Structure 1
Amino acid sequence: MQAIRVHPAQPPSPAYAPSNPAPSTALHLDNIPIPHPTKPGELLIRIKATTIIRDMLTWPETYAHDYIIPGNDFAGTVVEIFPGGEESAFKIGDEVFGMVHADRPSTWAEYAIVLESEVALKPKGVGWEGAAALPLSGMTAFEALVDHAGLSLLQDGDVEARKENEKKEVLITGAAGGVGIYLVQLAASTGLRVIAASSSNARNEEFLRELGAHEVVEYSVLEGVKDRFDVIIDTVGGETLAQCWGYVKDGGSLISVDSGSFNFLEEHGKRGIVRDGVKALFFIIRGSTRALHALAELVDRGMVKSFVAGTYPIAKVREAYDFANGRFTGRGKAILTL
């Protein structure tokens, strides 16, 4: 099978590592054997599309061993189930999407082994590229709002729950970014009043309102806001996150998914800006079939859209990685197709 692998640095160059990340020229298209399921719960997927995430070549997991195959998000078809897996929830030919755990990247290839717990049936309302763009960003948004902020996705006809949610306001920073676009859509689907913050209304307001935002503001407009929001989901970090302590209500939630803010509670505690009575945390996505099923249902109901910024064949992976790590004006993910 064809697979993209990260080739090691050649002596006398120093070994690649998060502190000395590989350049895109270290990505090579190789021919290697097709893997096969070796234990119950494993599936072999024929990959149709997978994502490129910014800075993937700086991740520690990329250097767990030489010649690693990167990639976590995927969409494809089930082609093999572990022998004797008659009780599998999937059958050969099923169209699926999902995300393999960060410790087991492998989806920049024609075939990949995934766990049943990492897979759900692909939403019918999108193609392979759109399905592959959903898992990481969509599940991050789902976990932020549902698992950590304690909100509930509404069922059709759930009038009382919607009325209750409509009394609450959520602020989303970096609302036009990769995770922000799913936060806006999911929050709007719960009936919450959504305030979307970004660096430029001229560039983002119309787009964010189409996603369901009730208000779209630039960060300067928030200055002077006090104790307004029931929930704040931050994707930006830095001083934007620090300012959010003043915006959140007592008893509210302040949640960050910005990777550089993993220790923000400690740092903000030293600055004396942490407030008692506010649920505050940083989290790293876990992923679940529950979240994947919810996203698929919302896509098929027309309540969530996926976004693809660019599509590249696997042979152009270097160009695709450079695109994903550059400044582009599109929305969503860079996708590799196979």
Structure 2
Amino acid sequence: MIARPSEPPSAGTVADAERGHWADTLLPRAVRPYARLARWERPIGWWLLLWPCWWSAALAADAAGRPWPKPLHLALFMIGAIAMRGAGCTWNDLVDRDIDAAVARTRSRPIPSGQVSIRAAWAFLGLQALVGLVVLVQFDRFTIVLCLSSLGIVAIYPFMKRITDWPQAFLGLAFSWGALVGWSAALQRLDVAPVVLYLGCILWTIGYDTIYAHQDKEDDAIVGVRSTARFFAGATRRWLVGLYGAAILCHAGAFALAGVGLLAWIGLAGFALHLAWQVIRLDIDDPDACLALFRANRWAGWILFAGLVADGLRRL
């Protein structure tokens, strides 16, 4: 539905935010709008950004004969994912503030509702980017350059929903970059295996974000926002079979190129079963079910990561 100009925002609330989260209960009231702007109450976003990094780091460790990925790298990737996901959300909300003001689920977000000014949002974006930069300079020069080369994709992503039915593909290009970075940070180079893993992560991202986008398809049609959810429509399940199936094949190719052992393959099998479960349970006309399936991808990530780590540990 379209918001009526006379409708005032509900002060201090965001319609699509998590209720009872620590960001809304423990933080000072003045900070809470910024927490919502960065989506701190919705950790699934940074988990999905983090998983390609951790998968790639674990895959590189396994390929190099190490028992586990470097704990410091895993910690840096997590801090970086939280900071840069928040920066990305802030940038997206700055670009989309007019669209958000016209959509029921998003018009109470901090910028369109006036809880955070445009100037303050830009300052907060810069602060989060600075945290990301501090994390970035802990790595080698090759990895730093590799990370910086993704900024163009991140910058153009919010505009893609205006010009293509495939904005989820551009999200995949940005969110999956960690599949290259995790390997680079571990081995100071790129090989074919992380590139194939990157392709698989892009396909996985298109799939899960299509499920997410089905929540907003009616409002998106009204305001002219394009998405794979609207493009696939009633054929979404068949598209997901293809996207998820191709993602699993790419992951298998990366595993084969890296020479992983049995436990990693068992993890990949569990990952595949989880994606199959998502396809079976999908109901594109139930927004709550779509959101639950989207969030379930955090556990899909854990399954694949656990298999890779277990495969490395067998060397002990």
- Alignment TM-score, normalising by the size of structure 2: 0.28
Q: Which has the higher contact order (CA 8 A, sep 6+)?
A: 2
Higher-strand-fraction structure: 1
Greater Rg by CA: 1
